[in-house]
Each structure stands twice: as C-alpha cells, then as structure tokens.
Chain A
Amino acid sequence: MATGDIEKSVSELHELLAHKDISSTELTQTYIDRIHNLEPDLQAYLTVLEDQALAQAAVVDRKIAQGGVLSSLEGIPMAMKDNMCTEGVRTSCGSKMLENFTPPYNATVTDRLQAAGTILLGKLNMDEFAMGSSTENSYFAKTRNPWDLEYVPGGSSGGAAVAVAADEAGFSLGSDTGGSIRQPAAFCGVVGMKPTYGAVSRYGLIAYASSLDQIGPLTKNVRDNALVMNAIAGHDLLDSTSVPFEKPDYTKFLVNDIKGLKIGIPREYYGEGIDPEVAKGIQSGIQTLIDLGAEVSECSLPHTEYAIPAYYLIATAEASSNLARYDGVRYGYRAESEDVLGMFKTTRSEGFGPEVKRRIMLGTYALSSGYYDAYYLKAQKVRTLIKQDFDQAFEEFDVLLSPTAPTPAFKFGEKSANPLAMYLSDITTVPINLAGIPAISIPAGFVNGLPIGMQLMGKAFAEGMLYRVAYTFEQNTNYHTLKPSMSREVLARGSR
C-alpha cells in the first residue's frame, strides 16, 4: 500500500479494493498502525478493536479472492462515536457511569454498517453523554484538534471528527443533538451531516435528548457522506420515531450544478459573537456559489435568538428524564450504600461528571411542579415559532446558508469555566435540531490556520438538495483536500 493511500476517500479506497490493488487486511492494518502512531497526541479513540477489525477484513478479502463483487462500503475501515451500542464492545458514552458497560445488542446503525461490510476500527471519544461543545467533558481523555494540538476538536462528536480529519478512519458516525456533528466537523475541516429527525434510526443510540438526537456521518468529502447515508438511513421498526419515507440513492444528487437554485442567508446568524474573519470566509464561499449560478439573497429567521434558551430547556428536560435510568441497579456504575435511596444518590453523584449534573439539575428544575409551564411548555411553544420561521423561509429558498460555528476552534479551558458562554456558541446549530431539519457542514476555508465550516440547511428529508449544493461547492474549491500539517509529519515518520 502506497504511503498516501490512507488519505484517500471511501470511494477511492473502494476502487483500490475492487481492483485488488490493496487488500482490506492491508488497508485495515495501515489504519491500525496510524492509530498507534497518532493516538498519543490526538486521543480520538476510547477503544481500538485491532483483532476484531483484522478478522472482519479477512472475511472481505476471502470474498474478493472468490471473485465476489464489493458493495461501496465493503472492506472500508471506520469508527463510531462511543454512544452507539456495539454488541460485545464496551460503549461508555464518555462517562464513568458506563465505564464497564458492554451492550448485549447492536444499535441499528451498527447492524447496518456491519451488513454493508465495513470494518469497525473502534469507538470514539465524546463529551460525557454527548453534553458539550469541545469534548473536554469526556471522563476518559482530552481529544486534540489535529490542526493545532492546543485547540479543542469541538464536540460532542470530537473523536469522530478528529479520526476522519487525521486519517485514523475512513469515515465515522457521530450524533447531533444541538450541533454535535456539524460543529466538530467544522473545527476539524471535514464534512458532517445532521440528517432530518427520523431519517436514521436512534435504536441503540444512548439517549441524551430524544426529540433532538440524530445520528449522521462524518467524512472526508461529500460523496463519501452520501455513500454512508445510503447505508444507514431508512425506516426502522425498532425506533418508533423513525419515519417511513422513501429513501433515495443519495449519490444521485451529486451533480456539479446549482444554476438557478435559491439560497437564503439568514441575517440573524451573523449576530454579535461572530468572528469577523469567519464571516469574511463564509462571504467568499457565498461568492463562489453566486459565480456558479446560485441566486443568493438575505432572509430572516426572526426567532433565532430564542433558540438557545428554548434548546437548553428542552434538551435538559429530556436529559433529566432519560438519565433517570442510571441508578446502579441494572447496568453501569454502582456505589455501595446501606439503603437503596442512598445507593441511587451516591451512584449518580459519583458516576456523572459536572456538566451532566448541571444539565440534569436544569432539566429537573424546568420540569418541576410550578415551573413546568413557565419553562418547559414555554420552550416547546417557542420551538413551534422557530420551526415556522424555517417553514416560511423554505417557501422561498431551496437551501439556507450560514457559518457552522461563530468562531474557529478555541483553546482548551477557554470556555469551560463559563457554561453559558459555551452554550451561546451553539447559536448557529441548535435551531436546526429544534426544527428537525437536515443540515450539513462542509470545509469552507481557514482562519489563523484553523478550519471553518459552511452550514447548508434544507427542508425535512431534503438531504439530497444539501448534497447537491455541497458537492458543487466542493468540486469548485480545494479546502477539503488540505490536511493538517501535523498528520503529514507523522505520516512521514510512520512510513520510514
């Protein structure tokens, strides 16, 4: 296998496998070697499945040897955020609470990727219970941004973004409750899709906020993203919120043409707190799309500023309910105590980290007697207004466009002392989850050597339209081909 092969996209690797230029075993071994080389610096993985991955690769190689035809993801090494259940493989959710939890079943996405013949390299670091925007809330490790090790990778799917950005996996799956796929994708310079709520099954995804959580792919380019969506999307009987819809072949939307498409720029996404350099970078991306024939104009989503408080009330209320199950009885951490109430309290106080407890507290308060109407119900009503903003905008526009995050990646510790400041940086991503619509983040340039992302938002189940615009942008720019310099150094070191 040639040195540069590890940087190749899923579709390029598929060609190499199909033409017997490399074997899946060689490819998998190359990824494992690279993980060993980079992990001391990056810490994207919580679990690496060396033996299992090589065994899976051997199965694919036997099929190739027997003249079998490979499907598009078959033999491709990938990794999953550690909140998706993998039978027999620890699934920790980044928490002490689940440090020793080994699921007795697979999440639907795990089954589907297995059925597609992918190779599971391991499980990826994340903010505890997916609560956070920097992966600093993981109980286990501090994942670093490969573009600059002093900076956070974003979160909560920080490990999933880093693994793809640093070529430690062909692709990865993350989950997105308020931006947790898109924001780390932007911070690490990869493509990240948050699908429509209900497009991908949540069965076996450890719940944070059930009405907002959604699984999606992080990939090196837009084509790969569409290929992974083909494998994971679709109705599932095991998730009653999964929507029965006719799943398209998402690769059919990959055309280099956006002539006449109407793109709206919501002005509220450029409020205070936005880095002027990020705004400038996105503006130049918008110009590229105009040059390619898109019709771009400004628009308004008037309730945007209310999205943060509405989101944090709804998400924490749902979290306080979902996380009530961690009581030390059926699975997870248990602290010993004389009586059962003491056991519940000590287990939860020792098993959860500070951000998780903070959100349980806020959510419990918002749902408590006397405050339910003022906070939770009010937030649900505001959610309706936010959704209506989008409905109106999509009567006029095919897609909406904004920066994925108001700033590039920040330094470790920069925001962790002030929870509210951390929450406010989610302004460009949380409205999308409240409305349940799809959005994709694609690489759109650099500010001070750190990647920035452009976010495209679409109507419910219009992932195809997002892929079309994203693909066209990608075909006419080179941001997605640039690699963190650090990974080139280590690549050179590893190949000697």
Chain B
Amino acid sequence: MKISREDVEYVAALARLELTEQETQEYTEQLNSILDYAAMLERLDTSDVVPTAHAVPLHNILREDQVRPSINHEKALRNAPDGEEGFFRVPKIV
C-alpha cells in the first residue's frame, strides 16, 4: 500500500474536500490501485529526458497593453452566491 488512510485525509484537507467515512475508504483503495499501476513509469530511465509541459511550446506571449472593453461590475457579480454593493460576501474569516 502506497497510500494510507491518513495520507488520504491529509490530501483531502489540501484539496479542501470533506470526505465521508465511505469515501475515505474507497479513495484509499482506488488511489492505491491507480498508483500501483502508475508505478510502471519507474521502469523508464528518464534521467536525461527534458519534461514536456506543453506539446506545442510557446514562449513569452506578449501583446500591446491596450485598453479594451471588458465585463462590467454588475455582470461579473451576477453569478455570485452572495454579494453586496459590488463585493462578494463570504462567511467570517477571522
């Protein structure tokens, strides 16, 4: 087993997910089976291989800094679950 229950709970906290008991158990089993399978990558010697982040590499995509029309305040906030006076509202933070 590569991943313990505790690992799954730790990763869930990182991902801001709250798992049920059943989910924790299922994901522990399933992530282990997936990562066991992924262990085949270790068979490849990649010490001299450069990683690929994008298949078609583009560098420094620049454009003129011109003012263009953009979404207005009202539209941008229209999908907010909770908002007031042009702000997003969230529960207490501190």
Contact = CB atoms under 8 A, between A and B. Distances in A.
A453 B48 CA distance: 37
Interface stretch (A248-256, A257-265, A329-337, A476-484): A329-337
Contact of A357 (B17, B76, B93): B17
Interface string A308-329: 1110110000001000100111
Given A345-B16, A436-B54, A375 B38 contact: yes
B1 interface: no
A387 B52 contact: yes
Given A243-B58, A339-B93, A379 B41 contact: yes
Contacts of B46: 378, 381-382, 385
B80 A329 contact: yes
A383 interface: yes
B56 A365 contact: no
Interface in B23-65: 23, 27, 30-31, 33-35, 37-38, 40-42, 44, 46, 49-56, 58, 61, 63
Given A329-B88, A330-B79, A196 B34 contact: no
Nearest to A87: B75
Interface stretch (A31-39, A97-105, A111-119, A120-128): A97-105
**Which of the four size classes fits the interface of chain B?**
35 or more
Interface string A389-426: 00000000000000000000000000000011001000
B23 A420 contact: no
B91 interface: yes
Nearest to B43: A306
State the majority secondary structure of interface residues on A: helix
Contacts of B44: 303, 306, 382, 385
A105 B52 contact: no
Interface in B66-82: 71, 75-76, 78-82
Nearest to A354: B23
27 contacts: A101-B79, A197-B54, A197-B56, A237-B63, A240-B61, A241-B54, A303-B44, A306-B44, A308-B37, A309-B41, A310-B41, A330-B88, A332-B79, A332-B81, A333-B81, A342-B91, A343-B91, A357-B27, A358-B30, A364-B14, A378-B46, A380-B52, A381-B50, A382-B49, A385-B46, A387-B55, A460-B56
